[in-house]
Amino acid sequence: MGSIDTPKNPENGSTTPPPTTDASATYDGDQKPTNGMPPRVTEMTLPVESEVVKKRKTSMLPLEVGTRVMCRWRDCKYHPVKVIERRKMQSGGTNDYEYYVHYTEFNRRLDEWVKLEQLDLDSVEAVVDEKVEDKVTSLKMTRHQKRKIDETHVEGHEELDAASLREHEEFTKVKNIATIELGRYEIETWYFSPFPPEYNDCLQLYFCEFCLNFMKRKEQLQRHMKKCDLKHPPGDEIYRSGTLSMFEIDGKKNKVYGQNLCYLAKLFLDHKTLYYDVDLFLFYVLCECDDRGCHMVGYFSKEKHSEESYNLACILTLPPYQRKGYGKFLIAFSYELSKKEGKVGTPERPLSDLGLLSYRGYWTRVLLDILKRHKGNISIKELSDMTAIKAEDILTTLQSLELIQYRKGQHVICADPKVLDRHLKAAGRGGLEVDVSKLIWTPYKEQG
C-alpha cells in the first residue's frame, strides 16, 4: 500500500519510538510503576492501535466505485473527490488499483486517473446509494439552491430526459484519451470521445495538424508527415487577413476530414453530439499561417440547410489558443456569413454554459454599440436587420440588461448613455475584428 502524504500523528504510531522496558518510556522521571501495572502493558498499547488502523485501511481496499475521499491534486492540496471507476494495475498486489476520480469542486474536464498514494484513506466516506443521497440532499437544500444545482448538472444537455442523461454520463464518464499531439502542442484532453475500438488501449494520440488523421505512435505520425502533401485544411480559403485564414470545408466532399474533426472536437466539448454523417454540414476552420503552413486554431460548423435559422452548430477554440479572442472572432464570423446570405441567424440549442456566456457577451457588445451611436428611435426588427441577430436573442439580451420595457402593448428600448457605457465595460473587449473586405464567399447552394 502506498504512503499517504499527510501530517503524521500518534494515532498510527509513526512518531512513537520503539517499545522499551525502560520505565521512562511511559512514566515521568524515576517514578516507579504502580502495583499490578507492568510496564509492557502500557508500552504495547500504541503499536497494537497502529496495527488496528492498518488493518482497517487495508480492509477498505480496493475502494468501491462511488466512494468519496480526499485526493491530493496538482496544487499539492487535498480536494474532495468521488471515485468514478477503478482498474487493476498490471504489476502489483491484490489491492493495487488506480482510481478515476471526479473533483466535486471542479468541472468534469479535470477528472483523472490517480494512484492510491494520492488518496487520504482517513477521509474515506462510505458508499451511499445515489437515489437515497439525492433525496436526503434535496431535503436539506433551499428551493433556490436545488434549482442552481439542477441547472449546473444538466448544462448543455437540456434536450435529454433524466434517463438519457444518466445513460450519457455513464457512457462518457471516463476519459479514454489522456493527451493528444497536434502540431507543436501536446494537449491534455477534457472529455471522452468515441474513437474506433482499435484505439481503446491508447492514452495518447498523434494528429496530423493538416489532414487530422490520427495515429497511435509518434513514429507513425513522422512517416505520415513525409507523405502528407497538405499544408492547410482541405477546402476553399474564404478569408485571409494578416496571418489569419479561414477555410470552408464541405463535409460531403471531405468526409474523413469532417469525421476526424468531430472526434478531435469531442475531446474538448462535453455537450457535443458526434455526427458521423457529416455530409449535411459545412466546417469553417480558422488557422494561424506561417512559412510551415496553416495551423488550426479553432472552428465552427453549420448545417447547410437549417429550418430553425441556425447559423452555427458547434464551436471550439483549441486550448493552446484560448483567451486570445478567437472564440469571439468565430462567433462574429458566423454572423457575417448570415449577413451575406441575407438571413438572421442564431446558434443551435442547447448552448453550453461557456457558449451562452460567449454569445451573451457578443450580442451585448454589438447591440449596445449600435444603440450608443444611433440617434432617435430604433426597433428590435431594425436591430435584427442590421446585425443578423435573431429578434428573440435581441429581446432576451436587452431584457437581461434591463434596457427594455413593455409599454402600451409594445417593447420600448431605454438607452441611457451612462447605463450603456457601464454595460459595455462589463461585457469586456470584443476580441479580434472580422475585416469584411477580406471575406470572399458565396452562400452554399446544392449542386444540381
Q: Annotated catalytic, 151?
A: no
Angle between helices 391-400 and 353-373 (to 10 degrees): 90
Tell me which DSSP letter residue 289 carries. Answer: E
Q: Which helix (H) or strand (E) holds 53?
A: helix 45-60
Radius of gyration of the chain from Cα atoms?
Answer: 30
Return the amino acid letter for 296. M
CA 383, 387, 393, 397 torsion: positive or negative?
Answer: negative
In Å, the largest CA–CA distance within the chain is: 108
The answer for residues whose C-beta is within 8 angstroms of residue 161's C-beta and 6 or more apart is: none
- Closest CA relative to residue 261, chosen from 214, 310, 330: 214
Residue given cell 494520440 in the structure block: 205
Instruction: Render the burial of 156-165: b for 16+ CB within 10 Å, e for the rest.
Output: bbeebeeeee
Is residue 304 within 8 Å of residue 444, measured between CB atoms?
yes
316 bridge partner residues = 299
- Closest CA relative to residue 336, chosen from 308, 300, 306: 300
Q: How many CA atoms lie within 13 A of 238 on its CB side?
A: 25
3-state secondary structure of 324: coil
Catalytic residue chosen out of the listed positions 167, 348, 392, 446 = 348
- Closest CA relative to residue 359, chosen from 402, 312, 309, 296: 312
Distance of CA 192 to the CA centre of its chain: 10
Spatial distance between the Cα atoms of 244 and 422, rounded to a whole number of angstroms: 32
310 bridge partner residues = 346
The answer for residues whose C-beta is within 8 angstroms of residue 8's C-beta and 6 or more apart is: 14, 15
Distance of CA 372 to the CA centre of its chain: 36
Return the amino acid letter for 128. V
Q: How many CA atoms lie within 13 A of 191 on its CB side?
A: 23
Q: Which helix (H) or strand (E) holds 404?
A: strand 404-407
Is residue 255 within 8 Å of residue 261, measured between CB atoms?
no
DSSP-derived pairing of the beta strands 179-182 and 204-207 = parallel
Residues serving a catalytic function are: 348
